[in-house]
Structures are given as structure tokens and as C-alpha cells.
Amino acid sequence: MSEQPPEPKNLPGILPDGEGVFTAYEIHDPWDMPLVTAPIDRTWMEEAHQRHPYRCLPLVMANQSGWMLLSPCTFRVFWYGGMLMTDLEVEFVNGVKDPRITSHFGNAVLTFSMPYLFRTPPGINLWVKGPSNWIKDGIQPLEGIVESDWSAATFTMNWKMTRPNTWITFEQGEPFCMLVPVPRGLAESFQTQSVPLAANTDLHEQYKRWEAGRSRFLEGLSKHEEAIVKQGWQKEYFQGKMGSGGRFDQHQTHLSLKPFTRKKPNAG
């Protein structure tokens, strides 16, 4: 018989573990490593011509789809090219070493230890990853899936250097980790197939209408047609317009994740 997690027991004033509850248990005081809802904005998107990337709704939605941990300090990291722990140097701008930010594994990997033990609802894993669409040259976030609904072990966030002999800086308050809940077994539950689009006659007709409209729009742009140039970009997907002419009633253009609020147990 497989072992099941024990029944949740929390002190008064604290929500018990279970359905609909995502808890960050504070192992150490995390005041300098905030846990925040992921914002929509990204610097490179703000700096793009006319902020064009924000017209891509999939990008915008991915930006917001989780919670972020922020760096407690400003520091920079340098990789000498080798695979030993000592081949990665971490230098703190204020000169005070933060033991949570280290070369722990070697192999050009920078490690962040976090002051939380996370507990998700039953059947929900945590996808631990770099901040979505957060571009950082010379270093790559590593990703992992954690069964955070039962494990009493902590985990680390890791980044792998990709360019030797270059200083890479993390600013205080810069996100270094993103937490995204994912149902365990979801991808494995799917029956999969690859078939010609024409096999789905309704979808095929919707696609052909979309394709014709897209081609007409691009042609108008190339010919500098006033009405199309003024339109700027096609908004059908952003507005949830379906190929059949209707609107998808569950369409989302933004997320409203609940922030983590610090609670203390009631005296009992």
C-alpha cells in the first residue's frame, strides 16, 4: 500500500494545507527575499518599438503565470571556464557575502537557496523555473518539477553560466525564480494524434478564413493601405474572436493571482 501524506495540522489562524491552498512556509525570515506575483511588464518589451511585444497575448499571459522570488542583494558572478566549484566566483556589491547565493554544484552553476518550504494542494506540482521572457545574457535558468504537495524537503533555484570570462550581474529586487503550479499527470493523461487539418471540417473552415484575413492584412500593410496601416495589427486573438465569428467566453487577457500575505498563528 502506498504511503499517503499525513492529514494537515495547522495552528489556529493559519489555513490548513489542502484544496485551493498554496502555502509558503517560512523556514527563515524571508523579508529580504520577497515572494511576489509575476508582473506583466518586461524591460525589453517596454523598450521595443511602440512596445510591440505587448501585442502578443501569449507572451503577456506567460509573463504573469506564477509567483516570483526576488534577489535579496546586488551581486555579480564570473565563470573562469572550468567545471569545479571554485571556477565560479560570486562577488557581492556591498562586500557582505550572502550564504544563500553560492557556487554549490560546480559545472558553472549558480545556486540560490530559498527560505521557504512550499506546499501545494493535493495533486499539484510546482514548476520551478526562470522568470518567463526575462532575458539575461550569458546565463541560463535551469528548470525543475517538484512534487510540493507531499515533500518536506526544500529545493534550490539554479542558473548555468553559458559564457566564460564575463561578469553577469543580478540586481537587488531582480526576479531569479518563478513558481508555476501544474497538475501532476496532466500531460500523461492525454490521448495524442496527428491528423490532416481537413479531418476537422469546422476547424479547417475557421483556419481558412483566418488565413485569408491574415494574407489580406499583410498585403495591405505592404501596399501601405491607409485603413490597414491605421489598424496597426490584427486583434482577433487578443479579443477572443473565433473563426466562426463568435467570441470565446473563457478568453483571458490578464491574470489576477493572489499575493502571498504573511500570517501569524493565533495565540492558543
Higher pLDDT, 244 or 252: 252
Average pLDDT of the residues of the chain: 92
Residue 2 clears pLDDT 70, i.e. is over it:
no
Interval 133-148 mean pLDDT: 98
Higher pLDDT, 174 or 222: 174
Which of the four pLDDT bands, split at 50, 70 and 90, describes residue 219? Answer: confident
What are the C-alpha distances in Å from 175 to residues 78, 95, 120, 218?
A: 19, 21, 21, 37
Amino acid identity for residue 192 in this structure: T
CB 112 within 8 A of CB 174: no
Give all strands (DSSP E) within 162-264, no chain letters: 167-170, 175-183
Report the number of secondary-structure helices (H) and strands (E) in the chain. 4, 14
pLDDT in tens, 84-131: 999 999 999 988 899 999 999 999 999 999 999 999 999 999 999 999
Interval 24-29 mean pLDDT: 92
Interval 236-260 mean pLDDT: 90
Interval 131-140 mean pLDDT: 98
What would the CATH number be for the domain defined by 23-189? Answer: 2.70.40.10
